[in-house]
């Protein structure tokens, strides 16, 4: 990427991230996981880890959904609202039954 993106002078503040390695019987690393964000609220990467977060922080997010911060879809938000209404109705029914 050197030379394709102009220097921005922006300081990238990454959230804490976890990494892990998986080894086989011969002691060889067969899987490497990096950039798993542990607290999406810290830093200026939009909650993204690894190189995705770096590009986002400097104002050049990658052009696919995984390269952008997560946001609720309308469907997800609606389902969460239905769940909240259901929880409140259960509490109300329990309260009414308790006062009979």
DSSP label at residue 4: T
Predicted pLDDT of residue 28: 97
Low-confidence residues in the chain, pLDDT < 50:
none
Helices and strands in the chain: count of H runs, count of E runs:
2, 2
Predicted pLDDT of residue 35: 82
Please indicate, yes or no, whether residues 9 and 40 belong to a single structural domain of this protein: yes
Please indicate, yes or no, whether residues 1 and 17 belong to a single structural domain of this protein: yes
Range of the domain at 55: 1-68
Predicted pLDDT of residue 90: 93
DSSP label at residue 16: P
Please indicate, yes or no, whether residues 27 and 74 belong to a single structural domain of this protein: no
Predicted pLDDT of residue 7: 84
Please indicate, yes or no, whether residues 6 and 33 belong to a single structural domain of this protein: yes
Please indicate, yes or no, whether residues 54 and 77 belong to a single structural domain of this protein: no
Please indicate, yes or no, whether residues 57 and 75 belong to a single structural domain of this protein: no
pTM of the predicted model as reported, rounded to 2 decimal places: 0.62
Please indicate, yes or no, whether residues 64 and 91 belong to a single structural domain of this protein: no
Predicted pLDDT of residue 1: 62
Backbone angles phi, psi at 32, to 5 degrees: -125, 120
Please indicate, yes or no, whether residues 64 and 77 belong to a single structural domain of this protein: no
Determine contact, residues 30/22, Cβ cutoff 8 Å: yes
Number of domains in the chain: 2
Predicted pLDDT of residue 57: 94
Please indicate, yes or no, whether residues 32 and 59 belong to a single structural domain of this protein: yes
Predicted pLDDT of residue 3: 72
């Amino acid at each position: 990427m050197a030379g394709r993106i102009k220097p921005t002078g922006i300081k990238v503040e990454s959230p804490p991230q976890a990494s892990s390695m998986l080894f086989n019987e011969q002691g060889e690393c067969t899987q490497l996981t990096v950039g798993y964000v542990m607290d999406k609220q810290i830093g200026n990467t939009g909650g993204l880890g690894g190189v995705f977060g770096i590009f986002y922080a400097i104002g050049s997010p990658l052009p696919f959904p995984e390269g952008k911060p997560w946001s609720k879809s309308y469907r997800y938000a609606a389902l969460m609202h239905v769940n909240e209404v259901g929880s409140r109705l259960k509490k109300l029914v329990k309260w009414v039954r308790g006062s009979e």
